[in-house]
Structure 1
Amino acid sequence: MTELNIRAAVPADAENVLVFWKEAAEGTSITDDVDGVTRLVTRDPEALILAESDGLLVGSVIAGWDGWRASLYRLAVLPSHRRQGIAGALLEAAERRFVAVGGRRGDAMVLEANERAHRVWAAAGYHRQERWRRWVKPFA
């Protein structure tokens, strides 16, 4: 693998990120549209962290900080580039961001059925909390 470039996304990345997620990410979100991605990076310019290799988008993670919680979403790596340390590099960047703003713990949203992701998160030092479950209510 060539040198990995880790950087924050900009609004112009939105369409490319959506195409990338269709290939590399498990599941979908109600905010998987250009407006949703653009709103994220406009509101919090450091939240969407991208990994590029030779100009190709190969990884992403959303490192959302609301002043209280350090939340991780959408850790994804292009299938052809997995097992090369990209997920780890993205998580290191996210964790550095959280520590710099006062975060004390990262909370990752991981699909129950995504066993591969469970192994990645565990290898990165995260553990599942059995007593918590997410409750959701769509607004529209």
Structure 2
Amino acid sequence: MTDLHIGPASATDLGAVLDFWKAAAEGTSISDDLAGVERLHDRDPGALLLARRDGELVGTVIAGFDGWRCHLYRLAVHPGHRRQGIGAALLAAAEERFVALGGRRGDAMVLDRNERAHRVWDAVGYRPQEQWTRWVKPLG
């Protein structure tokens, strides 16, 4: 996969990322708007990692670190580029980032209904933690 480049998003990439998620991500979030992604980028410019092939955006992952825990969000690969190792490459880059920041364990938010994603996460060594229930409250 030498033609695959993974690196942090720039501020000028953020609109394209939102469009990409509409086509490639499973479901949407209340924070999937330009203001939300700009806040993420302003707070931690290295958190949003993009995979590009020949200049085309083909994958994303958010590798957020709060100083204590490592969190993975929005792993998405363009449908026309799946099953080519892009998701695994994005996760490897995220894990490298976490180790460099001093992180020791990554966790991922994955929709229960997204069975295709479950297989990907399992293949790269992540396991569901059934003893936890995620509680969510939209803010604002």
TM-score bracket, normalised by the shorter chain, equals over 0.9
Correspondence for 2:17 = 17
Q: Over residues 6-34 of structure 1, what are the superposed CA-to-partner deviations in whole Å (9 max), with x where a residue is unaligned?
A: 01011111110011000100011111111
Q: TM-score, normalised by structure 1?
A: 0.97
1:130 corresponds to 2:130: yes
1:2–1:53 Cα contact (<8 Å) kept: no
Gaps of at least 5 residues in structure 1 are none
Q: Over residues 68-122 of structure 1, what are the superposed CA-to-partner deviations in whole Å (9 max), with x where a residue is unaligned?
A: 1100000000000001110011000000000111111000000000000000000
Between the aligned residues of both structures, percent identity stands at 69
Displacement, 1:2?
Answer: 6.6
Q: Over residues 13-61 of structure 1, what are the superposed CA-to-partner deviations in whole Å (9 max), with x where a residue is unaligned?
A: 1110011000100011111111111111111011000000111100000
Find the residue that maps to 1:138 and give its secondary structure.
Answer: coil
Q: CA RMSD in A?
A: 1.0
Q: Structure 1: which 4+ aligned runs deviate by more than 4 Å?
A: none
Q: Within 1, Cα distance between the matches of 2:91 and 2:108?
A: 11
1:48 corresponds to 2:33: no
Q: TM-score, normalised by structure 2?
A: 0.97
1:11–1:37 Cα contact (<8 Å) kept: no
Across the two proteins, how many residue pairs are aligned to each other?
140
Correspondence for 2:57 = 57
